[in-house]
Amino acid sequence: MQIFLDTADVALLKAGIATGLIDGVTTNPSLIAKSGRDFKAVIAEICGFFDGSVSAEVAAVDAPTMIAEGRELAKIAPNVTVKIPLTRDGLIATKILVDEGKAVNVTLCFSAVQALLAAKAGATYISPFIGRLDDMGMRGMELIEEIRAIYDIHDFGTKILAASIRTPDHVRDAAIAGADCATLPVSVFEALYKHPLTEKGLEQFLKDWAGTGQSIL
C-alpha cells in the first residue's frame, strides 16, 4: 500500500520524504489556509523537491470553473493531481479533465455508489473519508471493503486512497481491506514505526552491547 502525507507544511513534508517511504502528498484548501501562503506557490514548491503525486484541490463548485481551475493547477507541474469534490459537477469536470490526460483525485467520498460513479468518470484516485464516517457511528472501513469489491468485480483502474485517517489502526485496517493508498497526517505517519516493546528491546540491546566494550567501527 502506498503512503501519502496529508499536509502543506513544507518542512514536515521534507522530513517525511527523507525516510524514502512516502509515495504522494495530498493538500486541501484548509491545509493551505493554515500555512498562510500563496496556494499555487506552495504546490509549486512541493513539486520542486518531490516527484510523486501531489494533490491540489479546486476551489470552485460548478463544472466549467472546476475544469478551468483544474487546467491551471495541472500547469504547475507534471506530477500535480487535480483534486475535485464528489458532486455531480465534480464528476462532469473529472471526466473532461481525465479525457485531457490529467490525473484526478475525487475527494469527499462517503458511499460505494459515489465511488462507482467516480471510477466510471475515470478518476485516478477515489478518496473515501474513513474517520468522518466513524465520527457518525458508522464503520468507515466497511466503505473501503465495498469499494474494493466493486472495483475488482468490474475491473476499474481507479486507486482507492483512504483518507481522514486518524490512527495507526486505521492504516492497518485500510491495508487489510485492500486500499491502494492511504493519506496520513504527519503525526500518524510518525506513530507507525513506534512501539514500546521496540524501544524497550533496543534499550536492552544497547546496554548489553556497551557491556562488551566492543566497537563495530
* 95 is known as an active-site residue: no
CA distance 217 to 34: 46
Contact in structure between 17 and 189 (CB atoms under 8 Å): no
Cell 473501503 appears where?
A: 144
Of all helices (H) and strands (E), which one includes residue 199?
A: helix 196-212
- Out of 14, 34, 40, 83, which one is annotated catalytic? 83
Per-residue three-class SS string for 19-84: CCCCCEEECCHHHHHHHCCCHHHHHHHHHHHCCCEEEEECCCCCHHHHHHHHHHHHCCCCCEEEEE
26-62 exposure pattern, b = at least 16 Cβ within 10 A, e = fewer: bbbeebbeeeeeebeebbebbbeebebbbbbbbebee
Contact in structure between 71 and 90 (CB atoms under 8 Å): no
Catalytic residues: 83
